[in-house]
């Protein structure tokens, strides 16, 4: 999957946990949680959704690596490489 | 005989609108069954019965808006009396309610109608309050009642919806309308709290290093769905502290009334503004995992305005915990008739002096807002120190 294909999936998952936000407006280096005002509970639900979508298991110590769109995409690509 | 009354779904509720009966006379009901849908300022609620029994008579008509404590139905039960929720809160709720929120409920004598129109309306079971009169000074005439009866026959479904509270058509509008009324409900409860409760505040800083390390370790062994959030520890620590200092797990209603059960209300903020406070019942008996399961289940339901009456009644103490990355300290306002509220800020790294050494630690600032009529600073301090103790020894929770 390319970055342009991944983004809509991420936006959809974010929209799932926080229906009244507009993830499309996120800039690459915006902090996802603070920009969309997602609390720790909803962020955990987002990670659950990510894991289900991409069939991975994100350990808690990696939460810090997926704070922005930019780092989240990098994290997903890195995970994909490992599984291939 | 059991009188089933409009329950008080929190100190801020004055009245509710019966939207729909889910039972009919003769039906057997069991404790926990949802028997009615009630619309409040906080949205629609499933209303449950608290005893086994049989429905004898549905007193209240669908669409009627009545004050808390009004008899809705008569049930026949084996044991005397139901609705623990109502019983407990009714007295306080009915005695002194903030008046700024809901307009007084219309009572029949205020409706202008001819005696004949009244009699026909009664015979046909038509609620006069929903009819627009065309007679002198808007009085309801026989013809108005007959027209209303004809309409009701044609479209009973639509009729019911139309009268059950100017319900906006689209879900989005509905949410916006509910958000507005939640705002007003919070305003009423908080105004009452500030007017009646002499608050005092205590504060302590808690080193969270051990608790966070314990959580990280616990979460390594859990799938992402079962992972624990710090709030699960907070709830458990509040429950244990409340068990140690029962004076703060109480109501102030004509004096101090200690509560046996520890039902912790957890403040959940809605994205559209406003808060809902569902309660975890018997929190001291729950394990950390059970508390987390409750959180996982209740937050989505609260945020989609889908709570049941039993979720928000009988709260004995409230916990508000700010989201990560927000303010470090919160001084709360107590929800009457409760007598205490625990306020937790977001954890931040701070310089920490201990044993003559300086270090940097993740620090949680915990505050207690307590009712000075019900307790004094010494008791409040004992509570807060117990809470701190439990968070510093997470393995004891």
At A70, which CATH number? 1.10.1200.10
ipTM: 0.81
Q: At what angle do helices A69-83 and A3-17 cross, to 10 degrees?
A: 110
Q: What is the mean pLDDT of each run of 10 residues along chain B (397 residues)?
A: 83 82 89 86 82 88 88 77 41 40 39 71 70 72 74 45 42 69 88 95 97 95 90 97 97 95 95 89 96 94 88 94 91 96 97 96 98 97 98 91
Q: pLDDT tens for residues A39-69?
A: 888 899 999 999 999 988 899 889 888 999 9
Cβ–Cβ of A61/B295 closer than 8 Å?
no
For residue A39, list chain B residues with Cβ-Cβ distance below 8 A: 269, 323-324
Provide, as residue numbers in chain B, all residues whose Cβ is less than 8 Å from the Cβ of A33: 324-325
Tell me the C-alpha distance between B292 and B296, whole Å: 6
CB of B35 within 8 A of CB of B21?
Answer: yes
Write out the DSSP string of A22-68: -GGG--TTSBHHHHHT--HHHHHHHHHHHHHHHT----GGGGGGGSB
Q: Which domains does chain B have, with CATH numbers?
A: 1-105+169-195 (2.40.50.100), 112-163 (4.10.320.10), 197-396 (3.30.559.10)
Closest Cα in chain A to B172: A20
The helix (run of H) or strand (run of E) holding residue B229 is none
- Set of chain A residues whose Cβ sits within 8 Å of the Cβ of B272: 20
- Least CB–CB distance from B323: residue in A40, A51, A60: A40
Q: How many domains does chain A have?
A: 1
Domain membership of residue A58 as a residue range: 3-83
A44/B227 touch (CB, cutoff 8 Å), yes or no: yes
Interface of A with B in 28-57 (CB under 8 A): 33-34, 37, 39-41, 44-45, 47-48, 51, 57
């Amino acid at each position: 999957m390319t970055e342009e294909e991944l983004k809509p999936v991420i936006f959809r998952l974010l929209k799932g946990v926080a229906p009244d936000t507009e993830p499309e407006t996120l800039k690459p280096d915006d902090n996802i949680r603070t920009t969309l005002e997602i609390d720790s509970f909803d962020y955990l639900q987002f990670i659950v959704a990510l894991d289900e979508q991409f069939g991975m298991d994100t350990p808690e110590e990696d939460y810090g690596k997926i704070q922005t769109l930019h780092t989240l995409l990098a994290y997903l690509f890195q995970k994909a490489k490992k599984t291939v | 005989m059991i009188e089933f009354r409009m329950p008080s779904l929190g100190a801020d509720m004055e009245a509710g609108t019966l939207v729909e009966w889910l039972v009919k006379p003769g039906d057997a009901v069991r404790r926990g069954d949802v028997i009615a849908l009630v619309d409040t300022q906080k949205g629609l609620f499933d209303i449950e019965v608290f005893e086994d029994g049989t429905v004898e008579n549905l007193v209240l008509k669908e669409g009627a808006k009545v004050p808390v404590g009004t008899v809705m139905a008569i049930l026949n039960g084996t044991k005397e009396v139901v609705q623990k929720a109502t019983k407990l809160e009714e007295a306080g709720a009915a005695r002194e309610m903030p008046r700024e929120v809901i307009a007084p409920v219309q009572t029949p004598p205020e409706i202008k109608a001819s005696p004949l129109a009244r009699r026909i309306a009664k015979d046909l079971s038509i609620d006069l309050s929903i009819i627009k009169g065309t007679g002198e000074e808007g009085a309801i005439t026989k013809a108005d009642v007959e027209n209303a009866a004809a309409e009701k026959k044609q479209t009973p479904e639509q009729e019911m919806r139309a009268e059950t509270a100017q319900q906006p058509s689209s879900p989005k509008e509905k949410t916006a309308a509910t958000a507005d009324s939640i705002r007003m409900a919070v305003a009423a409860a908080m105004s009452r709290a500030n007017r009646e409760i002499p608050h005092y505040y205590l504060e302590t800083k808690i080193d969270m290093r051990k608790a966070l390390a314990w959580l990280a370790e616990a979460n390594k062994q859990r799938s992402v769905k079962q992972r624990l959030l710090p709030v699960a520890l907070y709830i458990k620590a509040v429950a244990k502290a409340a068990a140690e200092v029962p004076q703060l797990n109480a109501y102030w209603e004509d004096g101090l009334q200690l509560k046996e059960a520890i039902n912790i209300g957890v403040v959940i903020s809605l994205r559209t503004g406003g808060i809902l406070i569902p309660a975890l019942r018997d929190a001291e008996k729950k394990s950390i995992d059970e508390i987390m399961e409750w959180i996982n289940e209740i937050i989505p339901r609260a945020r989609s305005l889908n709570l049941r009456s039993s979720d928000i009644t009988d709260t004995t103490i409230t916990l508000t915990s700010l989201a990560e990355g927000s303010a470090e300290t919160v001084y709360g306002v107590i929800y009457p008739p409760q007598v205490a509220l625990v306020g937790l800020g977001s954890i931040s790294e701070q310089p920490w002096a201990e044993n003559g050494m300086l270090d940097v630690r993740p620090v949680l600032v915990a505050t207690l807002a307590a009712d000075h009529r019900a307790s004094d600073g010494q008791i409040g301090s004992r509570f807060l120190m117990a809470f701190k103790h439990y968070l510093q020894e997470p393995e004891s929770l």
